[in-house]
Amino acid sequence: MNIVAVIQARMGSTRLPGKVLRDIGGKTMLARVVRRMQCVASLSQVVVATAASLGDKAIVAECERLGIPAFRGDEQDVLDRYYQAAQVHRADVVVRVTSDCPLIDPGVVDEVVRAFLDAEPDYASNTLERTYPRGLDTEVMTMAALARAWREAQEPCQHAHVTPYFYQNPQLFRLLSVTANADYSGYRWTVDTPEDLAFVRAVYTRMGNAMDITWRDVLGLLEREPALAELNCNIQQKALHEE
């Protein structure tokens, strides 16, 4: 079975332009995500799906430096971009993560993938019921389910965000929710603003810029230094309809 992780990445960002190539402890944010995803035992391959716009050539160049495939597709229709990337790489199962999650945990991704393989749903994620910190988001779907969403989705947000068609139509798909052992959803570890970037940089600095930081390591750090979480505690997540 070919399990392909597709990392969503582009240079455009309304709140932090070029964020995916921002430096975090000597490596770009994209490099952090790529290398951490390459540690997920259950994956067959990891690829980056970026846009065909001129500005995203920098992402392609970074992918070449990292030795990882980069697929270029529609800038606004990310659902189409994901579908086409999965087609090119002959995926049976598609794992979706985003490039603005530099603390993505290989163990958490592996847990969601293995839960998906065990239960055999159409779609599984750890965001249907959010218990993990925001920034560990992992979604897994069959290629057949992704193809159905690609054919049938009509709403703009369903194309801009790839997976809303699944959870907005639970009558059409078998959905699986993967949850943590407690509610950690109050933590924000994704990067969408300068405050978020300051938080992630602080975490990596405290951890010696290591590549193998686990989400449990970060929880322990925040227990010791709760003030770190205040760096981005006032940031509101954008709604689905917002670009």
pLDDT per position as a tens digit, 184-234: 999 999 999 999 999 999 999 999 999 999 999 999 999 999 999 888 877
Does residue 240 sit within a domain? no
Given a contact cutoff of 8 angstroms between Cβ atoms, the answer to whether 93 and 116 are in contact is yes
Buried b (16+ CB within 10 A) or exposed e, 196-212: bbebbbbbbebbeeeee
Which pLDDT belongs to residue 21? 96
Average pLDDT of 95-100? 96
Residue 206 inside a domain? The answer is no
Whether 68 has a pLDDT exceeding 80, the answer reads yes
Please provide the average confidence, as pLDDT, over all residues in the chain. Answer: 93
Domain count, the chain: 1
- Dihedral sign for Cα 109, 124, 101, 43, please: positive
Q: What is the pLDDT of residue 237?
A: 57
Domain membership flag for residue 181? yes
The answer, yes or no, to whether residue 116 has pLDDT greater than 60, is: yes
- DSSP class of residue 228 equals G
Q: Any idea what the CATH number is for the domain that residue 127 is in?
A: 3.90.550.10
DSSP string, 91-123: -SEEEEEETT-TT--HHHHHHHHHHHHHH--SE
**Residue 219 belongs to a domain:** no
The candidate with the shortest Cα–Cα distance to 17, out of 50, 55, 43, is 55
Note the pTM of the prediction, 2 decimals.
Answer: 0.93
Establish if 227 belongs to a structural domain: no
Q: Tell me which residue range forms the domain holding 176.
A: 3-188
Q: Could you tell me if residue 212 is inside a domain?
A: no
pLDDT band at 12 (very low <50, low <70, confident <90, very high): confident
Mind listing the pLDDT tens digit for each residue in 127-162? Answer: 999 999 999 999 999 999 999 999 998 888 888 889
Q: Is residue 134 in a domain? A: yes
> How far is Cα of residue 109 from the mean position of the Cα atoms in its chain?
10
Task: Report, as an integer, the average pLDDT of 10-22.
Answer: 86
Residue 167 domain-assigned (yes or no): yes
pLDDT band at 238 (very low <50, low <70, confident <90, very high): low
Which residue's entry shows tokens 């369903």?
158
